Amino acid sequence: MVSLIPLLRPAALACLAAALCACSQDESGSGSGDGARLYHLAGTVAIGRPGQWANVCIGSDCTRANNAGNYRLSLPLTQSELVRAAVPEENGNFIELTSLYRHSANVSNVIVNMNPTTTALLEAWSQFSMGQTLDNCINSQPGCARSLISSFTPGVEQQATEQLGEWLDTVWSPPRSPFNAPYQADPALDWLDDLHDHLHFTTTAAELEVTDNHGDLVDSLPYVNLFTSSDAPTANSSNITDAMALPVPSPSGGNLIVIDMDVSPGATFNAPRTIRLDASDSYSTATLPGNTLTFVQELVDPDGNVRRFSSSNLTTAVTRPGPHNWVVTITDDANNRNTLGLVLQVGSNNPLANPTFGAAGSCPTDPLKMNINSVNFCEESLDGSSIYGTCVPVTSGPSQSIHSPARCSTTTQNGGSLLGVCTELPIELRVFYYVNPLSVSGESFAAQRSRLAQDCSSAGMSWSNQP
């Protein structure tokens, strides 16, 4: 029997007993108005820094990432799809990234990250298996993208990721999926984001190359080693060390369009509320007075649904609590472009009237730090919470957690099935508990659920087997 860790709200939850828990990302989907099942993608767009305000798309269905590079996209899906992101740079250019959503009918809440490693592995696979660049495969060859998706199996992905880690050796820390493991777009917190700050992948017809921040070649890995060999050579260690020591260049700056954003009643308010979004004081230094600017304003709700407007100044209603992204893109007559965003923190006039949770993400047990004594849990704050706003990860003890842009899984987490959910509405919090597959206690699923339910109820909280 494991004693309960002090979770993120220790005073409120200290009286709950321990759970033996587990992990995998997955949540039952909600239905759209016509009965179609929605699949909920969430993840992080990162390039060694957050992919702020990135346009994230599956086909023509798009959303926007926030200032931390986190996004959500909810849509009906029937098959695996490539997910693409365009990260706006300060100078008006874009950095394009690609990743892969793997469809499973029973898994409707999925983490899909987009970063230079996901892009490089898919680009390399396109070169190796399709004989052409990823862009050419997607845009110019009918059927090529579908063939690439079906052939880039979980086994191929795992092989390539492991071989990449073997090749990069000491700078590739623990086993890690760049595609769907929780990712923090901060090189001070996430070793993979730090790697992306210093090592840059490029692909040729035959090999994956890595260059440093001076543009010099660090080393190269033939695709045959990346995708088919059981052994990968180790990259030149001295070159890797030197590359990781180089300073990180500042993002290329300077944009001829200056965006001025003003929201009334302010960036923090309670819903329901009519707000004014005004970017009309924006201007371009490249055009003469009187020349026109083209505006696209996007208001993104906590599920990633986007309302788009072509006006520079508008009023619109916000009806639900949770963080919203307001993103403005302006193009001038000379085809200069700039994109800027702002996160609107939307509370609720009556958060307990119709409570929903997880709009600001969740804090699940860190799969890389689980052991036999860990409680496998996941925390969600009430949408529009006036107390906490968002969860804060536990960073010490046997049950450490990490922030995820996705909601808590309603089925499994870290390999263990959902035991149930303990909700304490007055403190605007709920905690999911899962079986810990590493535990050696021998306690049955039914016994764990019964014990947790009793402890939750005895503490004056509300237990349910499903959220």
Going residue by residue through the chain, which has 467 residues, state the pLDDT in tens, using 9 for 90 and above: 233 333 334 333 333 333 323 223 333 333 344 557 899 999 999 999 999 999 999 999 999 999 999 999 999 999 999 999 999 999 999 999 999 999 998 888 899 999 999 999 999 999 999 999 999 999 988 899 999 999 999 999 999 999 999 999 989 987 889 999 989 999 999 999 999 999 999 999 999 999 999 999 999 999 999 998 777 788 899 999 999 999 999 877 789 999 999 999 999 999 999 999 999 999 999 877 777 899 999 999 999 999 999 999 999 999 999 999 999 999 999 899 999 999 999 998 887 888 899 999 999 999 989 999 999 999 999 998 877 678 889 999 999 999 999 999 998 999 999 999 999 988 889 999 999 999 999 999 999 999 999 999 999 999 999 98
Break the chain into its structural domains and give their ranges: 10-27+359-464, 39-245, 257-348
Q: How far is CA 427 from CA 212, 400, 424, 461, in A?
A: 49, 21, 6, 10
Contact between 120 and 210 (Cβ < 8 Å): no
Half-sphere exposure for 437 (CA within 13 Å, toward CB): 11
Asked if 39-245 and 257-348 have one fold, the answer is: yes
- Per-residue b or e along 158-180, where b marks 16 or more CB atoms closer than 10 Å to that residue's CB: ebbbebbbbbbeebbeeebbbbb
Residue 82: predicted pLDDT? 98
Neighbouring residues of 43: CB distance < 8 A, sequence distance ≥ 6: 70, 71, 99, 111, 112, 113, 114, 180, 183, 405, 406
**CATH number of this structure's domain 39-245, picked from the four choices 3.40.50.1820, 2.60.40.1120, 3.20.20.70, 3.65.10.10:** 2.60.40.1120
For 186, residues 6+ apart whose C-beta sits below 8 A from its C-beta are 49, 50, 193
Name the pTM for this structure.
Answer: 0.89
- For 257-348, the fitting CATH number among 2.170.120.12, 2.70.170.10, 2.60.40.10, 3.40.50.1950 is 2.60.40.10
pLDDT at 35: 56
Quote the CA–CA distance of 29 and 36 in Å, as a whole number. 10
Amino acid at 374: S
Distance CA 422, CA 231 (A): 47
Which residue in the block uniquely carries the two structure tokens 């986190």? 70
CA distances from 75 to 21, 62, 71, 78, 305 (A): 30, 10, 13, 10, 9
pLDDT of residue 418: 96
Strand 337-348 to strand 268-271: parallel, antiparallel, or no bridges (unpaired)?
A: parallel
- The answer for residues whose C-beta is within 8 angstroms of residue 241's C-beta and 6 or more apart is none
Q: Read off φ and ψ for residue 104, nearest 5 degrees.
A: -140, 125
> Strand, coil or helix: what is 463?
strand
198 contact partners, CB below 8 Å, separation of at least 6: 48, 212, 213, 243, 244, 246, 248
The tokens describing 6, both together, are: 């002090």
CA 303 and chain centroid, separation? 12
Query: What pLDDT is recorded for position 386?
Result: 73
- pLDDT at position 392 is 86
